[in-house]
Amino acid sequence: MTTLTAETTAGMDISHLVSAGAIQRTAFYLACGEQPLFAWLHRLDGRRERDHGVVIVPPIGFEQLHAHRGLRHLADKLARLGIPTLRFDWHGTGDSSGDDTEPERLATWLANARSAVNWMKDELGYAKVSVVGLRFGATLAALALDQVEFENLVLWAPVTNGRGSVREMHVIDMMSEGHIAGSEAAGTIEAAGFRLTAETAAALSKTSLMQSKPLCRRVLVANRDDSPADQRVIDHFAKLGLDVEQFAIPGVSQMLVEPHKGLVPEIAIQKIAYWMDQHADSGEDCATSEPRIEELTSTLVQNQLSLSILCSPTVRETAICLSDSPNLFGILSEPTTRPAANLPTIILLNAGAAYRIGPGRMNVEMARQFASHGFRCLRIDLNGLGDSIATDASQENDSYAPTAFRDIGLTMQALRQRFGPQQFVLMGLCSGAYASFQASAQFDDPDLIEGILINPLTYFWQDGMSLETAPTKELIREHYYLSSALQPAKWLKLLSGRSHIGVGGALRMVAQRLGLIGSRRTSKMSNVTENTGPSHPTTQDLTGDLKRVVASRRQLSMFFSTTDPGYSILLGQARRQTKRMLRRQQLSVTFIENADHTFSRHAARQRLIDSLCQHLQRRFVSCS
């Protein structure tokens, strides 16, 4: 990896290059009026490339989060073919500025797509530019580019009619845990953690591919293979005089599931890349890449496109490289004024396999609000997740990678080198909570002073485990049934024989909870031994882990949704030590009402963030 330092860019920290093999990835903020967009440029490193660029236009909402990994692989594939490729986050999404409740989302997103294509053409000077849009991104690209000439348009599993897509989001909203009619702003749709205001939903509902008149030469409609193609789309573009092709490709549904279950659609990527390879040859190559790097650097400096943007008058964000090998990338949120020296830096870890923005973009919201309270906060991609590229592709997408602890140590070291001596707080949801906990139990670094755990589902992990085989599975199951005991509808299901646990199982579970009979949770991994280092523990010993946190003089703070099983697991495995730490204020526990595991409802997510901010204020601001 090459980093363009302040010395090489006349005092501006304007760019950051990540290389993996022959691919060079450049992270920066793309100017779009006063609404900068976070973007990556993928290109060949030290080899010839074509004078033809590609812009990848992402989906919206939760599909953007789920598709992140697949679109990164597509950008790499195109770059390997010598086609420089740009991918970006819409305004108010991902790592870009803004949020999803701002007005005129449709007009803003159409302008974003035009800006990305114009930047490739006008600023970087590529003679020809093509576009690949996924899902609603395909629809928006086709609608936006009616005044911008370009070469090829790939519509990957496009949304033909906006009304149907908005209706699907509304159904997801209605079926979500924690949905209460009338609890949100009138008309707002919340689908899997992402919001559409009434205005945005109405505007998107009126969109249709049949309204588009893209100024391109040819169109490829890459339909998904699990649903019938819409011939009207082909006929529409044919009537516009465009050269239209179509084929069905697999993998879309597997890509758009939750990130930890998601698969890279290799066949789809190969087919789209092959098609683009056949139609992206301009007949001439650019010069070698070294002059192109100089041109890129010059362009970025001249246009003041940087890795640092103002998210608000009080918060600045910067994209930084934390390590070359292993590759570690993150976004730093900090107050525009110098943070107080006595305030720790907060490191936000990945939640599951979701990249650094977190489920529902919650990590972005948390980081920016922490920064507004004076804290420096880094949201990081651990190696193999998001944009921290693993050298071995088989090590991608591991929510509980043993290398997480190595990465945490390297991150603290990199931040000390950048900002000087400081203290750290580790924070994470789910698998990020597990990593924060075990790092707090095992690290001997005195600068690590607190672990903040949000809805941990386990406190112990070993390679090869899953939540289905984890020793805590029965406790999770027990928590579900005990929490259902106060719901009449659940008892009706139980007594009518429609519950697989049965009446006997329910009574046995309650008796175990009351201590009337013994639990059958004993595991052969329950022997108490010392952990050997910063990695997954070799044996399950929650009481010992908690004692190690105390011995390290670290604070442990836990935040639970009332419906989540994490606190029950804690008491089930280490009740006596937990109660002792609570009495001695070595552990704090906070419960968030009406929240699901990932805080997918905005109101619940805001209650969590408010509670976290209050906790940080009490711990580090008030006492100072």
pLDDT of residue 311: 87
Which contiguous run of DSSP H or E holds residue 410?
Answer: helix 404-419
CATH architecture of 308-466+530-622: 3-Layer(aba) Sandwich (3.40)
The 3-state DSSP class for residue 189 equals strand
DSSP label at 375? -
Which CA distances in Å does 281 have to 42, 79, 82, 569? 18, 13, 10, 59
**Per-residue model confidence (pLDDT) at position 499:** 44
* Superfamily classification of domain 16-161+207-299: Alpha/Beta hydrolase fold, catalytic domain (3.40.50.1820)
Q: Which amino acid is at 238?
A: A
Q: Which two tokens stand for residue 470?
A: 């984890």
Q: Do residues 380 and 348 touch, judged by C-beta distance below 8 A?
A: yes
Could you state, in order of their start, the residue ranges of all structural domains in the chain? 16-161+207-299, 308-466+530-622, 472-522
Sign of the torsion formed by the C-alpha atoms of 223, 228, 230 and 234: positive
pLDDT value of residue 41: 94
What distance in Å separates the CA atoms of residue 479 and residue 277, rounded to the nearest whole number?
A: 53
Q: Which of 350, 459, 464, 354 is nearest to 407 (CA)?
A: 350
Two domains, one topology: 16-161+207-299 and 308-466+530-622:
yes
**DSSP code of 124?**
S
Instruction: Tell me which residues of the chain have a pLDDT lower than 70.
Output: 1-21, 46-48, 177-185, 281-306, 467-533, 623-624
Q: What residues contact 177, with CB distance under 8 A and at least 6 apart?
A: 563, 596, 600
Q: How far, in Å, CA of 331 to CA of 95, rounded?
A: 8
Q: Name the token pair of 127.
A: 């003679």
Predicted pLDDT of residue 320: 93
State residue 475's pLDDT score. Answer: 57
First to last CA, the chain: 40
* pLDDT value, residue 525: 34
Instruction: State the pLDDT at residue 526.
Output: 33
pLDDT digits (tens, 9 = 90+) for 193-220: 999 999 999 999 999 999 999 999 999 9
- In 3D space, the residue among 406, 409, 460, 410 whose CA is nearest the CA of residue 431 turns out to be 460
Q: What pLDDT shows up at residue 179?
A: 61
Which one, of 281, 160, 140, lies nearest residue 221 by Cα?
A: 160
pTM: 0.86
